């Protein structure tokens, strides 16, 4: 019996530690990423972001990222950086826009993500990163995988010196959001029917967030 979308997303909880000894097969992750890429919407189909994927063999990069993250507020608990698959979302300058956008640029239209000021489009890029990660989350949960989200790491602009000499694959990219994916370390303890939540860490009342006009 197939799960509904609601049932699938209800399985999600923030994983604190993954089973590094049993990573999901790369073929499965490649398939999930391909499906996510095809399903994710984007304004003018420009996708003004890049997703760096660190697999199980990239433990050195993960360790380097952990070392600079653990001293930041909240970062000392980021053991999920060692997820079998770590997705680092960054902004990018779109250098090869599609034909429709290229034609628009030729006639004077401006698309921030295609210019040297592409970082000014941070809000839109972050929104699209959220769409990508949400769709990837759903597809992963459908395969009984677990996910985690991370924001407690050094700011690439403010703390640029901390990135010096490490994570060379970034090549100047600006990490904004990180997502982990894999099997949880203790499936019984991390059962989605008993979701871990910090004491008192409750959502606000819905009417503080949703306003029916």
The pLDDT value recorded for residue 191 is 54
Distances (CA, A) of 49 to 54, 80, 180, 194: 16, 22, 18, 35
Q: How many angstroms separate the Cα of 78 from the Cα of each of 68, 105, 125, 165, 189?
A: 11, 42, 24, 21, 18
Please give the helix or strand (H or E) that residue 209 lies within, else none: helix 206-209
Per residue of the chain (213 residues), give pLDDT as tens. 788 999 999 988 888 889 999 999 999 999 999 999 999 999 999 999 999 999 999 999 999 999 999 988 888 888 999 999 999 999 999 999 999 999 999 999 999 999 999 999 999 999 999 999 999 999 999 999 999 999 999 988 888 889 989 999 998 787 999 999 999 987 545 555 455 566 778 899 999 999 999
Write the class of the CATH domain 8-186. Answer: alpha beta
Answer whether 90's CB lies under 8 Å from 163's CB: no
| Per-domain residue ranges of the chain | 8-186
Q: What are phi and psi of 121, to 5 degrees?
A: -95, 30
Q: Which of 208, 184, 204 minimizes the C-alpha distance to 196?
A: 184
d(CA 201, CA 75): 17
User: CA-to-CA distance for 42 and 202, rounded, in angstroms?
Assistant: 32
CA–CA distance, 48 with 82 (Å, rounded to integer): 26
What does the alpha-carbon distance between residue 39 and residue 135 come to, in Å, rounded to a whole number? 8
The DSSP code for 146 is: E
Rounded to two decimals, the pTM is 0.92
- CA-based R_g, the chain, Å: 19
How many Cβ atoms are within 10 Å of 78's Cβ, its own excluded? 21
195 CB-side CA count, 13 A? 13
Q: Kindly give, in sequence order, each residue whose CB lies less than 8 Å from that of residue 191, ignoring residues fewer than 6 positions away.
A: none
| DSSP string across 21-78 | TSPPPHHHHHHHHHHHHHH---GGG---EEEEEE-TT-HHHHHHHHHHHTTSTTGGG-
């Amino acid at each position: 019996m197939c799960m509904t979308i609601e049932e699938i997303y209800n399985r999600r909880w923030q994983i604190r530690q993954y089973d590094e000894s049993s990573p999901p097969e790369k073929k499965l992750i490649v398939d999930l990423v391909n499906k996510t890429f095809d399903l994710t919407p984007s304004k003018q189909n420009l996708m003004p972001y890049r997703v760096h994927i660190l697999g199980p063999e990239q433990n050195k990069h993960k360790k380097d990222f952990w070392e600079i993250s653990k001293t930041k507020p909240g970062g000392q608990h980021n053991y999920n950086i060692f997820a079998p698959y770590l997705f680092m979302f960054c902004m990018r300058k779109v250098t090869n826009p599609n034909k429709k956008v290229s034609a628009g640029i030729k006639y004077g239209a401006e698309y921030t993500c295609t210019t040297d000021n592409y970082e000014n489009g941070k809000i839109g890029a972050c929104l699209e990163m959220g769409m990508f990660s949400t769709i990837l989350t759903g597809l992963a949960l459908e395969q009984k995988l677990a996910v985690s989200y991370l924001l407690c790491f050094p700011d690439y602009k403010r703390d640029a010196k901390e990135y010096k000499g490490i994570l060379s694959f970034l090549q100047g990219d600006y990490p904004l959001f990180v997502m982990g994916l894999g099997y949880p370390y203790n499936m019984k303890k991390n059962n989605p029917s008993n979701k871990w939540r910090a004491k008192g860490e409750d959502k606000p009342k819905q009417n503080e967030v949703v306003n029916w006009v």
